[in-house]
Structure 1
Amino acid sequence: MKIGQVASEADVTIDTVRFYERRGVLPEPGRRPSGFREYPASTVERIRMARMLQNLGFTLDEIIEMLHAHDTGTATCDSEQWRLEGALDRIDAKIAELRRTRRLISTTIKECRTGHCRFAGQLEGDRPLSRTESDGRGHR
């Protein structure tokens, strides 16, 4: 398969295929006599697997290590479980951060509704604005 066909079937750009090749996600393909890269059909599935692992929260370096373990036949559920646990820990940390951010936004909305805009005062370098000093929406 040529690079354009691989990219199209894997739903990525040609640049992504080249990037994955440079980083070691994909093995270096063979070359046609014309010099064009010739990818095996399995390249599409390998790209899809890498993308799926990225969506699960794995870093590119982790994905490369996982694919290498798979290629060498050393990957088992037991040997890879720690990677899954690490990804889950990162997701839990992101969820906690999003919850903190949500609470801050909710609190700020409540403050604005009572006439105090936390951000306007901080941006101006002074106290929060009250509704009487603003246009009623926390703006001057």
Structure 2
Amino acid sequence: MQIGEVAREAGVSVDTVRFYERRGVLPAARRKPSGYRMFSESAVERIRMAKALQELGFTLDEVVETLQAHDVGEATCENQRWRLEAIVGRIDAKIAELHRARRNAVETLEVCRSGCCRLTLS
């Protein structure tokens, strides 16, 4: 498959396919004598898996590590569960951070409504 076809089938841009290849999400494509990249059909599924993992909160490095573990036959639910646990922890920390920011914004708004705005320098 040529790069445009892979991108179309996977629902990403050609630039994303190139980026994923550079970062190791996709194995290096073989090249035609003309220089055109030729990907196997499995590239589409691999991109879809990478996108699904990113939507779960995996960083790109974590996506690459997870796919590499899968490639060598070492990925099982039991030995990869820690990755999801870490992501849930990061999400929980971000939610707590957002709650604090909201609480501070609401307090500042209440002070501002009382006539003592904290947003001005005077």
User: TM-score normalized by structure 2?
Assistant: 0.93
| Bigger radius of gyration among the two | 1
Gaps of 5+ in 1: 127-140
**Corresponding position of 1:16:** 16
The number of equivalent residue pairs is: 122
* Residue 116 (structure 1) aligns with: 116
Pair 1:54-2:54 in alignment: yes
Q: Residue 65 of structure 1 corresponds to which residue in structure 2?
A: 65
Higher relative contact order, chain-length normalized (CA < 8 Å, sep 6+): 2
Q: Which runs of 5+ in 2 are unaligned?
A: none
Q: Percent same amino acid at aligned positions? A: 61
AA in 2 matched with 1:29: A
Q: Which amino acid aligns with 1:106?
A: V
Question: What amino acid is aligned across from residue 15 of structure 1 in structure 2?
Answer: D
State the Cα RMSD in Å. 1.2
> Alpha-carbon deviation of 1:84?
0.8
Q: CA deviation at 1:15?
A: 1.3
Mapped to 2, the partners of 1:59 and 1:38 lie a distance apart of 27
> Following the alignment from structure 1 to structure 2, what is the Cα–Cα distance between the partners of residues 8 and 114?
55
Q: Name the SS of the counterpart of 1:118 in structure 2.
A: coil
Q: Can you list the C-alpha shifts for 1:79-124, whole angstroms capped at 9, x where unaligned?
A: 101111111110001000010111011111111111111111xxx2
After TM superposition, which residue ranges in structure 1, 4 or more long, deviate above 6 angstroms?
A: none
